[in-house]
Amino acid sequence: MSSKAAAGIAGIVAVAWNSGLAMAAADPYQLNLPEPQTVIAQQIYDQHTM
């Protein structure tokens, strides 16, 4: 295997590893939805988070 190919594979592995670490560190239940303030908003929120 050439050194250029080995470096490319090592780079891909490094990016995949770091992406996995970032996903593991994020809260799995964290959503980009604000807490609802009305009854209707609460119902819509519940539908989106089922």
- Listed by start position, the domains of the chain span 3-48
Predicted pLDDT at 20: 59
Global pTM exceeds 0.85: no
How many whole angstroms separate alpha carbon 27 and alpha carbon 15? 20
Name the residue with tokens 């780079």.
11
DSSP letter for each residue of the chain: --HHHHHHHHHHHHHHHHHHHHHHHS-TT--S-PPP-SHHHHHHHHHHT-
Q: Tens-digit pLDDT profile for the chain (50 aa)?
A: 678 778 778 777 777 666 655 555 556 566 676 788 999 999 988 887 77
